[in-house]
Structure 1
Amino acid sequence: MRIRLRKGDRIRLVSMPHDPDPIPVGTLGTVIAIHEHQDWAQVEVDWDNGRSLMLTMPDDCVAIIEPNHQEPSK
């Protein structure tokens, strides 16, 4: 994985290039589980938009939201 994710991390999707119906870029979510394999990982995310689609790392790209960074209210 390019970045080290941990359960509970808040993330923002940067890209999901190989999925035919990807989560929209910029969507926020919370990491709920990480399933590590030899040289890749599946990351379960509780997406804020309600979708349920795992990340495949390192193909998919996310940014960790810093704990002190607050998202604007909607």
Structure 2
Amino acid sequence: MRVISKAALEGLRRRYKPGTRVELLQMDDVQAPPIGTKGTVLGVDDIGSIMVAWDNGSGLSVAYGADLCRVVSGDE
């Protein structure tokens, strides 16, 4: 796992504000939601994980430096 800098953490918190809609692009976990699953950001924790309430009911976070998601507009 990569250690996040203070500047990078602040950047993540600006980009992934609570309520932001995201789409999962990559997650290396046997319990991961399917790629393409959308969800709503709950926040970013102190190690840079993006906490998401996935539309399929999953609650797995997007791990900094390992997993990927992207911001989507409300109509996607």
TM-score by length of 1: 0.73
Aligned to 1:11, which of 22, 40, 45? Answer: 22
Summarize the Cα distance change of 1:62–1:23 in structure 2 as closer, same or farther, 3 Å threshold: same
Provide the aligned length of Structure 1 versus Structure 2.
65
Q: What's the C-alpha RMSD, in Å, of the aligned pairs?
A: 2.0
* Structure with a larger share of its residues in strand: 1
Deviation at 1:36, TM superposition (A): 2.5
Deviation at 1:63, TM superposition (A): 1.0
Structure 1: tracts of 5 or more residues without a match? none
CA distance in structure 2 between the aligned counterparts of 1:58 and 1:65, rounded to whole angstroms: 20
TM-score by length of 2: 0.71
Residue 5 of structure 2 is matched in structure 1 by none
CA distance in structure 1 between the aligned counterparts of 2:44 and 2:31, rounded to whole angstroms: 21
* Structure with a larger share of its residues in helix: 2
Of all paired residues, the percent bearing the same amino acid is 31
Contact kept in structure 1, 2:23 and 2:36, CA below 8 Å: yes
Q: Which amino acid aligns with 1:8?
A: G
